[in-house]
Copies of this chain bind each other. A is one copy, B any other.
Amino acid sequence: MKKNNISTKPLSGFMELLPSDQVLFDRIKEVIIKNYEKFGFMAMDTPLIEKEEVLLTKAGGETEKQIYRFKKGDNDLALRFDLTISLARYVVENFNNLNFPFRRYVIGKVYRGERPQKGRFREFYQCDVDVIGDGNLSLKNDAEIPSVIYNIFKELDFGDFVIKINNRKILNGFFSSLDLEDRSSEIMIVVDKLDKIGIEGVKDELVNLSLKEESIEKILEFINISGTNEGKIEELESLDIDNEVFKEGVRELKEVFELALLMGIESKNLEIDLSIARGLDYYTGTVYETFIKGYEKIGSVCSGGRYDNLASQYTDKKLPGVGISIGLTRLFDQLKDNGLLKDYSKSKTEVLIVSLLEDFKEAFGLANKLRGEDVNTQVYLDEAKPKKIFGYADKNNIPYVVVIGEDEIKGGYYTFKDMKKGEQKQLKLEDILEAL
């Protein structure tokens, strides 16, 4: 049916969903928003376009190449590639009008011109939540983040999950004690791959870095510390490492872990994992990753951490923060591929009203009453045979159909059909509301 040879496909790397999938996507987004707000985070919405110079203060390497840049008038512009840079700009710009600790969330699209491949998107939603302090920020904030994640994934119910936590100071202090502090970044990049390449893979890569065998053994021993969470903390405390940063990291990790449990997170959902490092220099304390059990290969579905300075590129003020991000587009894509979404497919439209009468008065009246009770209701407004209309409800996953014809008017009832069960009943309005 196409003409003019213009393709109607969306651009490669850009997600576009059919309505039935969009419902699932939006449900996840709504659960995330609901829980962010339940913990008292406030909504924020910043432009998708920033001045190029703003984005380039933080981008580098691969990211810089992926930025969508363009000119309009005299301005060098670019599409944001994450939500953090805008947060930094916003906090500095509005510093005097914000109340600290400033707790905000953003659900927004970001853009990265990556080579398109399965599971990679050029336009994708990030769902960020952060709390920013003015000068200081209590560790209790670090402990609250896992509670937020916990509540979200508990409600989403994709399966069992585990939130892994660590503290960058432990890693930094540990490497410092091995006189490897100037190489900690490259070692951490390797350590970070543990989930993907396994302990032998990490060992091989460490050998490639030409580290002393003794150091490699110590590193492997360290990231392999196992047992219960409490056991790991005890082992860390008992290690003979005379380094203040290391000790501070252990104290912080212990405090964050204990506070997180006190906040109500189940201990089976929280795991201290000393191999978690979260990339390079940005994070300075607590770090988080989240995995769905049995689907670890998906990678972390929710990650983040503590940073000492949100906006050092703009200001000398110290603005420490802690936060996490959910890459919703990729998460949705992976959940769908792995069949983890199947139980949620239902339209937001709850009732479809079919009038067999010429006069739609009764249909419109019922629709208004149902909408008044917060029931999303569509009246089928076009001419069609009942069979076609039932097919429409079925294909759109609308769970209930109400039929109004002459018999119904005379009998003073509505014919109410449960599309899933295939059951049909004669009900009055009160009974319909009861049944919904």
* Chain A interface residues toward B at CB < 8 A: 1-4, 6-11, 14-19, 22-23, 25-26, 37-40, 42-51, 53-54, 57, 68-73, 75, 77, 89-90, 92-95, 97-99, 101, 103-104, 109, 111, 113, 123, 133, 136-138, 140-141, 144, 151, 259, 262-264, 313-317, 347-349, 352, 360-361, 364-365, 367-368, 371, 374, 376-379, 381-383, 392, 395-396, 398
15 contacting pairs across A/B (C-beta < 8 A): A1-B315, A4-B57, A11-B47, A19-B43, A19-B104, A25-B45, A39-B378, A40-B376, A40-B379, A48-B48, A136-B382, A140-B379, A151-B371, A263-B367, A264-B368
Q: Are B348 and A42 in contact (CB under 8 A)?
A: yes
Contacts of A14 in B (CB 8 A): 47, 49
User: Nearest-CB distance from A325 to chain B (Å)?
Assistant: 19
User: Nearest-CB distance from A313 to chain B (Å)?
Assistant: 6
In-complex Cβ contact of A138 among B138, B352, B382 (8 A): B382
Q: Are B43 and A23 in contact (CB under 8 A)?
A: yes
Q: Give bound CA distance, A71 to B165, whole Å.
A: 41
Chain copies in complex: 2
Most buried by B among A8, A37, A51, A383: A8
In-complex Cβ contact of A42 among B19, B39, B92, B365 (8 A): B19
Contacts of A2 in B (CB 8 A): 92, 314-315
Q: Are B99 and A396 in contact (CB under 8 A)?
A: yes
Contacts of A136 in B (CB 8 A): 382
Q: Are B37 and A348 in contact (CB under 8 A)?
A: yes
Q: Are A70 and B68 in contact (CB under 8 A)?
A: yes
Contacts of A104 in B (CB 8 A): 19
Q: Are B6 and A364 in contact (CB under 8 A)?
A: no
User: Nearest-CB distance from A13 to chain B (Å)?
Assistant: 9
Contacts of A396 in B (CB 8 A): 42, 99
Residue of B nearest to A353 (CB): B40
Q: Are A262 and B364 in contact (CB under 8 A)?
A: yes
User: Nearest-CB distance from A7 to chain B (Å)?
Assistant: 7
Q: Give bound CA distance, A70 to B4, whole Å.
A: 23
Q: Are A113 and B262 in contact (CB under 8 A)?
A: no
Q: Are B141 and A47 in contact (CB under 8 A)?
A: no
Contacts of A314 in B (CB 8 A): 1-4, 6, 8
Q: Give bound CA distance, A25 to B8, whole Å.
A: 33
Q: Are A40 and B140 in contact (CB under 8 A)?
A: no
Q: Are B47 and A140 in contact (CB under 8 A)?
A: no
User: Nearest-CB distance from A356 to chain B (Å)?
Assistant: 15
Contacts of A39 in B (CB 8 A): 371, 376-378
Contacts of A50 in B (CB 8 A): 11
Q: Give bound CA distance, A383 to B101, whole Å.
A: 11
Contacts of A315 in B (CB 8 A): 1-3
Contacts of A123 in B (CB 8 A): 47-49
Q: Are B11 and A49 in contact (CB under 8 A)?
A: yes
Q: Give bound CA distance, A11 to B90, whole Å.
A: 12
